[in-house]
Amino acid sequence: MYVVLVYDMEADRTQKMLKLGRRYLTHVQNSVLEGQITEGDLTALENAIEDLLLPGESVIVYELSSDTLLNRTVYGDDPAEESRFI
């Protein structure tokens, strides 16, 4: 499945979420990651997110069950394109 993860955390803690998210997804914008993920990896990611969050912080995970439901338009440079060649 394809997911988009958006997070809002204290400024001094954003690197922790970014590091966690990059284990599974591609960092595409400030506080936004996206990419293909298995259900097992998504469960692991969600559990790690719950352990990491402090009161007042939030993470939203948008799940798309099919690539055919995704219409992704990027204006300017696409960070996701660069990560495919690493």
Element (H, E) at 50: helix 39-52
Q: Across-strand partners of 61?
A: 5
Q: How confident is the model at residue 83 (pLDDT cuts 50, 70, 90)?
A: low
Q: Say whether pLDDT at 85 is over 70.
A: no
Distance between CA atoms of 49 and 69, rounded to whole angstroms? 26
Mean pLDDT of the chain: 88
Q: How many CB atoms neighbour CB 2 within 10 A?
A: 17
Structural domains of the chain in order of their starting residue, each with its CATH number: 2-67 (3.30.70.240)
Q: Say whether pLDDT at 71 is over 50.
A: yes
Q: What is the pTM of this model?
A: 0.81
pLDDT digits (tens, 9 = 90+) for 1-41: 899 999 999 999 999 999 999 999 999 999 999 999 999 99
